[in-house]
Amino acid sequence: MKKPAILLLLAFTISACQQQNTSNTAASENTQVDPATAPVFSFEKETYDFSEITEGEQVSYDFTFTNTGKSPLIISNASATCGCTVPEYPNQPIAPGEKGTIHVVFNSTGKSGMQNKVVTLTANTTTGSHELHVVGNVKPKINP
């Protein structure tokens, strides 16, 4: 007598999980960005070449962009390939036609040779992310 009750409970649990997964899938599909009205990053420059610096020096650059889309651009995160590169991004939405800046600082301490540091922006664009690059050569520090 206990077996039918357990089977019924198990069937109900599986059915509820399937319905929840269907709901979650539908909710995530509703968050997709409409390409016709989506915000768009238009950067003046996507790669900054600091040329050559000596190990231990810091360089910074402001990547300037315009939202050329039709809705506010919201940047939710900016991350770099390592802790030596620190990006700062606007916390407020950027309206269509307005400009914004991503400030990036690269600290060359402990680095040498050619560098290509990638900053990944997460935003409400059709692709969901955008990459910027800080590149150049770090010469070894000469100790006197």
3-state secondary structure of 28: helix
Q: Is the pLDDT of residue 5 over 70?
A: no
Residue spans of the domains in the chain: they are 1-31, 41-139
Tracing tokens 């520090």 back to the chain, one arrives at 141
Look at residue 143 in the predicted model and tell me its pLDDT. Answer: 78
Look at residue 69 in the predicted model and tell me its pLDDT. Answer: 98
Look at residue 2 in the predicted model and tell me its pLDDT. Answer: 52
Q: Which two tokens stand for residue 61?
A: 């650059």
pLDDT tens-digit map of 42-92? 999 999 999 999 999 999 999 999 999 999 999 999 999 999 999 999 999
Instruction: Give the DSSP H/E element, type plus range, for residue 12.
Output: helix 2-30
pLDDT tens-digit map of 9-47? 444 433 333 443 433 333 333 457 899 999 999 999 999
Question: Using an 8 Å Cβ cutoff, are 133 and 118 in contact?
Answer: yes
Question: The whole model's pTM is what?
Answer: 0.77
**Residues 75, 57: Cα–Cα separation, whole Å:** 29
Q: Under CATH, domain 41-139 is a member of which superfamily?
A: Immunoglobulins (2.60.40.10)
Of 119, 135, 132, give the one whose Cα is nearest residue 52. 135
Look at residue 32 in the predicted model and tell me its pLDDT. Answer: 78
3-state secondary structure of 10: helix
Question: Using an 8 Å Cβ cutoff, are 75 and 121 in contact?
Answer: yes
